[in-house]
Amino acid sequence: MKIAQIAPLMESVPPRLYGGTERIVSYLTDELVRLGHEVTLFASADSVTAAELVSCASMALRLDGNVRDPIPYYMLMLDRVRELAEEFDILHFHIDQFHFPLFAQMADRTVTTLHGRQDCPDLKPLYLGFSEMPLVSISITAFPRICTSPFTIRAAAMSRSWAESRRKSDLTAPFG
């Protein structure tokens, strides 16, 4: 399977310092490559991966003293992903919801992992407005309660049952 992993640009993948999301993206990406998938990682140029790397910033934005606003870099990255989208079977986003308007028409080929807090009331209209976008969360408790698409519910239930079926010491497969 040809898979695009779209990572945050704030830290490298894996992060040299702080960066829980980037660490999860690194584990997941490298494991998918190990399993034989063709994986392309969209991330900062200082990332290190077993996948093909598409550089979307010269270095982690948080460490670049010249960067004042990260949004232009994300817009350029999303444009690059959109240009190459037809090359992939699945586009896996780890960048919150920035991509929703650009990729809603191909929602069936996307998945978005929600890595952060989802209890902000301002997110409700966004999730309702883009209800076709498949979502998974890093934990069942962080999952937005308003998400009701069949894929979303199935993915949330699968992640919960997967985690519950293993002791913490047995969790060897990356999960993102």
- For the segment 5-41, what is each residue's pLDDT rounded down to a tens digit? 999 999 999 998 887 899 999 999 999 999 999 999 9
Query: How many residues in total does the chain contain?
Result: 176
Residue 135 has pLDDT above 80, yes or no: yes
pLDDT in tens, 144-173: 655 555 444 444 444 444 444 433 434 344
pLDDT in tens, 44-58: 999 999 999 999 999
Give percent of the chain above pLDDT 90.
64
Record the pTM. Answer: 0.81
Give percent of the chain above pLDDT 70.
78
Q: Which amino acid is it at 119?
A: D
Residue 92 has pLDDT above 70, yes or no: yes
Contact 64, 45 (CB under 8 A): no
β-pairing verdict for 2-6 and 38-43: parallel
User: For residues 102 and 29, what is the distance between their CA atoms, to the nearest angstrom?
Assistant: 23
Domains contained in the chain, CATH given: 2-170 (3.40.50)
